[in-house]
Amino acid sequence: MKGKVIGDILVLKNEPDNLEKLLDLPEVKRIVKLGRINGPKREPEVEILVGDNTETIHRENHCFFKLDVARIMWSKGNTGERRRMAKLVKDGETIVDMFAGIGYFSIPMSVHSNPSKIYSLEINPVSYGYLKENIMLNKVEDVIEPILGDCREFAPKNFADRVLMGYIGNTHEYLDKAVDIVKPGGIIHYHESVPDKLKFERPPQRIIDAACGRDVEILNKRIIKKYSPGVYHVVIDALIE
């Protein structure tokens, strides 16, 4: 069986042979089959096999995430990175999460660390709605400020101690904005999907190019997961002077 449990929903890639047996799995009350992922907002096609709706609350690392699995992506493969980020944040930091989604990284950072403020930017109104709900669900309203809109329109410069770019796609096109936002001595966490042979070469070079002469120190290069055959999802931690 190829699938993952999100909240109380089992999400499968293929039609199962025995639905009733799958309902015996711990916490599983509903079952859906995942089809294609469509469009720039990565909206999944979902067929409900058991149950009458696709909204759930997923628990991970003592955090709560409300989402609709038919409208929002959830990657189990990013669990370790979400935990790592929650441990990296230092007391009193100002953080900008450029692609916040439903709070994938903002929520753990606010729950398990002690930042001064997290500005969570999200362009998708559906994800933004769940982001606001998850902020309340985790009782971190005093830490996270959700902002609906394009992260390129976020005005402050030399502002953040830490900038998170936790999205893979055309993320490199936003590196110049991340460099504008981060203050001298701040850190950018840059995510990219990269062919194996370039996985630790292309992403750091893109950061250096975007820095436009500012000194860059690569602090860490990390594989998050295999994205597709011969392609890896990596994250680069870069200190920008």
Q: What is the dihedral of CA 67, 70, 71, 77, to 10 degrees?
A: 70
Rounded CA separation 159/156 (Å): 6
113 is in an annotated binding site: no
Question: From the CB of residue 64, how many other CB atoms can be counted at a distance below 10 Å?
Answer: 18
Rounded CA separation 227/234 (Å): 9
CB neighbours of 1 closer than 8 A, spacing ≥ 6?
12, 16, 22
CB neighbours of 65 closer than 8 A, spacing ≥ 6?
57, 58, 59, 74, 102, 103, 104, 107, 130, 134
Q: Retrieve residue 148's tokens.
A: 């609906």
Gyration radius from the chain CA atoms: 18
Question: From the CB of residue 200, how many other CB atoms can be counted at a distance below 10 Å?
Answer: 16
110 is in an annotated binding site: no
Rounded CA separation 146/103 (Å): 9
In the numeric block, the tokens 């955090």 are attached to: 63
217 is in an annotated binding site: no
Q: Which residues of 113-125 are buried (b: 16+ CB within 10 A; e: fewer)?
A: bebeebbbbbbbe
Binding-site residue positions for S-adenosyl-L-methionine: 75, 82, 122
Binding residues are: 75, 82, 122
